[in-house]
Structure 1
């Protein structure tokens, strides 16, 4: 190596001159050292000292006059040096050597930063170790999560992307500078937590007037054996507080919605510790009736194309997620009559439990409005089911009839 000062080969000498005091280190950096020593005991007058230093078998020296300190520069970072100081006489005689060994600083990477984190990867970077611009070195990166062995890798770049990480997991990362000889700097440390993945592919599967079904895929990278989690669902229409519910399933049915209303729906993943993922969202608008159904208000209505008994008709409605129609208003009666069935159609009215006590299929008693045709209900043991009789446009009328008779029917949901 090239060092400042005269070249000098160390050799032993008699203790003719008193040696300087012990070497003290005033300042040590990656490429320099400031040394000091005390005056030799009993030596008066001008003083001269020979200072030598070396590493890896190479030595350099210089002469210092009338001072007891020296700054030595242009040293190699991270190297062990031997420093020697001796008193030197005018005739070239020397005292015994006073020695000290120390290593220059190997700088660690600076400003270790987590630049980005997602569910299974993270990008970290750092500033190049100061003073190592022209020194052969690389960086060693070690990262791990609790309970696992560290992953160790190297790079010559001041940045790296760590891949194949576990979602929603805290990692510790250390980086150090490594010289060609294997010497390592101190570690710099940081931590980060990978992102908790959100549910995937949030989909509106079906919508009717007052309910909707939504589903989603499992968050990528998560499984219940490693992470215990559930989903939180929030839905609301403008101007209202959100309804919040949870499920461990990948789907949910939202009920008691307002008809003809747009709803926003959000879903997120929630861990046992309460940590939540980002929200995924969608919108839906209630009010759509299935194909072949007609909408009135917040209900959907279906007029059959077949003919069946009252009980069979009701069973068909139930299988469609509905029931025989319940008529609650004059406007609804007019709407139903507008279906223009083939003269007659079953409705959800019966007195089969108690003769003369007419009830709707939901168990509520018939009060008002009533649209019986003149002379109806006729009564009788076999005429226990209600039908709407289409006479002309307008409201139409009701009759009671034999429940076993086959005719069209009207469902409502």
Structure 2
């Protein structure tokens, strides 16, 4: 804490000491200060300075020679001190005083923020070192730039602020206030409440090239302008960033069969961002294209879907004829030859792309009809021979054919069972993947719910802290009420006492009224004497001016030719049948200033009886126009007599000065 002294412009004169410059007071500890200043303007060489300090009428002083720094210790903590300084000449003359004030109250220390949330925080601090046992409380202010300041007073070393705006920067100040009302400087810190992140981030739907993502608005932002920033990418690509004001977005132009990571954060108008929330999803693979069928060989082919050059995948082929179970097989090539088909039968064939994790594309389908072979009847020998040979061969081969048919039937049965098992496996795989996705979704929802629970728990604790704080404040207010009630009773007693004193003063007033009447009679008598004196003055005005005196109006003025103290100067005037000059008008001031042979002369004005109450030597108070110099009077208890300082023709000013200093004087009679 530091204070600078008052700086005043000095009148230019070779005979006037300039005051010190850049007067500064710095608080070092509870009971010590450091004073510093610069050399007076226009002065060189060693200099001497007079320093005084004090509070409530207690004053100390010291003299500093050849330096521009002073440390003062053993001060009383918690008091407001006044520090004064003046340049001092070798002859005892002093410059105009410069001053500064400072309170020995040290501000709090160790400001710390904890329990920082989106709508509240708690501020802790410590009492100033050495003031732990000094009665004190603290004045706290909290504000957002451009808004009204919120204030509070507490005896504790902590304060919880609630019902704040999320993501907002607050400036908090704490000031020590003593029981006598003295305050320290404020110490401040800034804190920014947490901006809550979006909640319940979810992938609503996914296809080959797009995905729909949604989330819930963070709590506490209903009245706050905000939007959301969405970032998404797949491995090996640049990050895509977009913004929206709604709590959902559809991402497009995605790659099929690709895993994407998506992050969402809340953004305020001032650019502040919340923490990121993350989720992932994989786009659906594309279906095979240009599916073709060769009905003569039952060969099926297709083209590889686009975008799968770097992705592991295979194809699932299913075919069947009406009334039969589908046959399912898989392969990594782009074609397949179907076997064991029935002649002259229409088959339905479907193909889809499958990834390693079991995800599959949409189905593409086609139909084919196998060729039916038939013998035509034609009467000829060749045909007869052929029929005969066929019968013979059929008879010879019947046994082998029967065995082959049995094996074929077993083969067909096993193939059918294999296909059924494959279908079951594919179904179970699909169900497993769906369950895994559901598990992932439930896990995410569980984590989000856990975060929400943690947030609510924190809010509950903050509300409990607020309740405890309010309870403490209520108790403090009750104590304050009790104190005020006691003070009211004391004030009532004081009022009763003052009423009694008023009655006593009324009696004294009545007595004084009687005395005034007596004084009025004396005044009348004095008035008659004054009239007689006036006549004597008029007679004297007609007389000639004594030697060495000057006449102005109805008075004569004498300028001394030697130097004496103020008291000795007045004694000389009294011995001459006069007194030190009393200036009653601007014309008389101008006349007195016409004595150009000297710079300073004593006049008949002093406050030696009562400090600060200036009276002329005839006992009358100073009520006529004043001609004090700028900053005068400023001498305190050691400068109680007044001199006229000659500046230029027709101009002069008054200064209070040390009565023991010897200089010329002016008498008046």
TM-score, length of structure 2 as denominator length: 0.38
- 5 Å matches for 1:185-264? 185-199=274-288, 206=295, 212-214=298-300, 219=305, 222-223=306-307, 225-227=309-311, 229-235=313-319, 242=327, 244-246=329-331, 248-249=333-334, 251-258=335-342
Match of 1:158 in 2: 247
Q: Distance in 2 between matches of 1:223 and 1:359?
A: 59
Alignment partner, residue 110 of structure 1: 199
Deviation at 1:156, TM superposition (A): 0.2
State the partner residue of 1:22: 110
- RMSD of the alignment, in Å? 3.9
2: distance between equivalents of 1:118 and 1:17? 71
Q: Relative CO higher for 1 or 2, CA cutoff 8 Å, sep ≥ 6?
A: 1
CA distance in 1, matches of 2:275, 2:394: 88
Cα displacement (A) at 1:347? 5.7
Identify unmatched segments of 5+ residues in structure 1. 1-11, 291-299, 304-338, 351-357, 371-413
Deviations 1:112-163 (A, max 9, x none): 1111111110011111021111101111111111111111111000000000
Offset, 1:261: 7.9
CA–CA separation in structure 1 for the residues paired with 2:139 and 2:123:
13
- What residue is the counterpart of 1:344 in the other structure? 380
Pick one of 152, 157, 177 that aligns with 2:266: 177
SS of residue matched to 2:265? strand
Partner of 2:639 in structure 1?
A: none
Q: Does 1:98 align with 2:182?
A: no
CA contact (8 A) 1:141 1:174 kept: yes
Deviations 1:173-192 (CA, angstroms, capped at 9, x unpaired): 11111111111111111111
Q: 1:133 aligns with which of 196, 199, 222?
A: 222
Is the Cα contact below 8 Å between 2:284 and 2:359 reproduced in 1? no
2: CA distance between counterparts of 1:234 and 1:193? 25
SS of corresponding position for 2:126: coil
Distance between the aligned counterparts of 2:252 and 2:234, measured in 1?
13
SS in 2 for 1:77: coil
Distance 1:175 1:245 in 2: 39
Distance 1:156 1:242, change over 3 A: same
Tell me how far apart the structure 2 counterparts of residues 20 and 257 of structure 1 sit (CA, whole Å). Answer: 94
Say yes or no: does 1:32 pair with 2:120. Answer: yes
- Aligned mates of 2:115, 2:384 — CA distance in 1: 98
User: Structure 1 residues 238-247 or 68-77, which shifts more?
Assistant: 238-247
C-alpha contact 1:52 1:60 (8 A) present in aligned 2: yes
2:256 match: secondary structure = coil
What is the CA-CA distance between 1:81 and the residue it aligns to?
2.1
Deviation at 1:224, TM superposition (A): 5.3
The equivalent of 1:392 in structure 2 is: none
Q: Distance in 1 between matches of 2:162 and 2:359?
A: 55
Higher share in helix: 2
Whole-angstrom distance in 2 between the partners of 1:264 and 1:46: 95
Could you tell me how far 1:105 is from its partner in structure 2? 0.8
Residue 56 of structure 1, CA deviation: 2.6
Q: If the length of structure 1 is used for normalisation, what is the TM-score?
A: 0.59
SS in structure 2 of the partner of residue 24 of structure 1: strand
Q: Which among 360, 367, 374 is matched to residue 301 of structure 1? A: 374
- Separation in 2, partners of 1:50, 1:131: 29
- Hey, what's the Cα distance between the residues in 2 that align with 1:75 and 1:345? 110
Tell me which structure has the larger Cα radius of gyration.
Answer: 2
CA–CA distance in structure 2, aligned partners of residues 274 and 112 of structure 1: 23
Q: Partners in 1 of 2:165 and 2:232 — Cα distance?
A: 29
**CA offset at residue 111 of structure 1?**
1.7
Paired with 2:285 and 2:384, the residues of 1 have a C-alpha distance of 51
Number of aligned residue pairs: give it.
Answer: 295
Q: Quick one: structure 1 residues 248 and 67, their matched pair in 2 at CA, closer, same or farther if it must change by over 3 Å? A: same
Aligned to 1:148: 237
Please report how far the alpha carbon of residue 85 of structure 1 lies from its aligned counterpart in structure 2 after TM superposition.
0.9
SS of 1:301's partner is coil
Asked if structure 1 preserves the Cα contact closer than 8 Å seen for 2:195 and 2:273, the reply is: yes
Judging by fraction of residues, say which structure has more strand: 1
Which residue is 2:155 aligned to? Answer: 66
Q: Which residue of 2 aligns with 1:78?
A: 167
